[in-house]
Structure 1
């Protein structure tokens, strides 16, 4: 039986529903009805992934649970799906927020209301041990005519196009497990993921793959991470952002995320989600 983190309902439940109904989005309606907040994520170690009974693990899940606790919300249900199903599932009302570690991209901002950033993270490649083709950035992959593999719906699909890699040299697969398998089997020369994911896949590979030299990637491959919400839930996003101001970078937050490799170097700085939507 799935575990559900049961405890508190919404702050302000004592307020008359008629006074707030006109302003509340679908998520606040659920909370005010006593329904759990459903968080959606894929199996993306160490970002967000399921543990026993789908327990939400990973630094983005740990962070979100901390912010929601600050808001007084602990009645949470995890919903696990494929990476490519996160935004469609959110907008189809299968869950209420995406905690899977979404980069804030202009293309996503058309369909998702993002929280203010909670992390800044760069891309990385996994390559065969020794990096025999010297593939450390997108332009090098394009010039070598190498095969590049990444996940369906990953930001690296757009990055590959921007870096000049022809569509015919880009392979898309469901997720990290398949990316690692493609590189290990020689079906792809480099696998595009985030730096956190690349480190984890290299550890899993028994030494057969390594992480590329990320210092050779251009600045535009640095990205900001936000929590995704339905646009109809902007009222909840505003409350989430207020709670985030207190929690982001706090001792409690850093203790919650440290086991997953998130450090103060990953704090997002002063960029807003609106600014990132325009620049990315």
Structure 2
């Protein structure tokens, strides 16, 4: 009996020291409507680059993580309402958003570029040229994104800007001919242009924005930001990031 009690005590002590590798559970917000970065598969499971990065970070932090889907328009308010602990959903780091949330170091870099039918002449080599080429035409972008802000700031009343709740709906109107062009993240569009729906469309001109940094958002002052930054450095250093990157893109987006 004494031997059995000693064994139980030793086991309890070991568990107390080592702990559960996943003793804490965190939730991360994600749109799940932005392939290949975040979307749902046929079974309804959240998948994509953002999802895999989030899970890799959680593994480094030794926590279990659960994805919580949220509409794009309300995704930052949902974070601040504590519906989840951090936000991994291809969110561009902007000064306006920094007022509401804190960002980690960027986990990928993005570019904004126009897309239009292959038959459309669109040089898109300067704002002045774009104003002439798109004067009076309908241009789409996803609402509450850097693309939507760029259209408003640079083309203003020169175009009829149509803003969509999801990027997929922007593509739908483009293919249906209800918009003449769209402005979107290059790496999301890269995937779409390879699809059957995007076969008759192409990038036009050069990117209008080449320094779009994408980060993970946390609530203001949350110490989780530094833990995520440490984990991000670790997955880059040990090759985990590259494996995820190479699964989705034949080039580095870091």
Q: Same fold, TM exceeding 0.5?
A: yes
Of 203, 206, 209, 2:201 maps to 209
Question: Could you tell me how far apart the structure 1 residues matched to 2:215 and 2:250 are?
Answer: 15
- Higher strand proportion (structure 1 or 2): 2
Question: Could you tell me how far apart the structure 1 residues matched to 2:117 and 2:237 are?
Answer: 36
Q: In the alignment, does 2:106 pair up with 1:114?
A: no
Q: Relative to 1, partners in 2 of residues 1:142 and 1:167: Cα closer, same or farther, differing over 3 Å?
A: closer
Q: In the alignment, does 2:41 pair up with 1:51?
A: yes
Alignment of 1:228-243 (within 5 A): 228-233=217-222, 235-243=223-231
2:27 partner SS: strand
Question: Could you tell me how far apart the structure 1 residues matched to 2:228 and 2:54 are?
Answer: 9
Question: Could you tell me how far apart the structure 2 residues matched to 1:136 and 1:89 are?
Answer: 38
Shift, 1:262, TM fit: 6.6
Shift, 1:139, TM fit: 4.3
Q: Relative to 1, partners in 2 of residues 1:151 and 1:79: Cα closer, same or farther, differing over 3 Å?
A: same
Partner of 1:177: 168
Alignment of 1:52-91 (within 5 A): 54-73=44-63, 75-91=64-80
Partner of 2:87: 98
Q: Point out where structure 1 has 5 or more consecutive residues left out of the alignment.
A: 1-12, 16-33, 268-280
1:70 partner SS: helix
1:153 partner SS: coil
Q: Point out where structure 2 has 5 or more consecutive residues left out of the alignment.
A: 1-14, 18-22
Question: Could you tell me how far apart the structure 1 residues matched to 2:69 and 2:128 are?
Answer: 35
Partner of 1:261: 249
Structure with bigger gyration radius: 2
Shift, 1:135, TM fit: 4.2
Partner of 1:159: 150
Partner of 2:188: 197
- The answer to whether the 8 Å contact 2:139/2:180 transfers is yes
Question: Could you tell me how far apart the structure 2 residues matched to 1:96 and 1:151 are?
Answer: 25
- The answer to whether the 8 Å contact 1:48/1:58 transfers is yes
- The answer to whether the 8 Å contact 1:59/1:262 transfers is no
CA RMSD in angstroms, aligned pairs only: 2.6
Shift, 1:150, TM fit: 0.4
What TM-score does the superposition give when structure 2 sets the normalisation length?
0.81
Partner of 1:8: none
What TM-score does the superposition give when structure 1 sets the normalisation length?
0.74
- The answer to whether the 8 Å contact 1:138/1:160 transfers is no
- The answer to whether the 8 Å contact 1:142/1:166 transfers is no
2:150 partner SS: helix
1:71-125 deviations in Å (ceiling 9; x for gaps) = 111x222112222121121112222211111110111111111011111111122
State how many pairs are aligned: 232
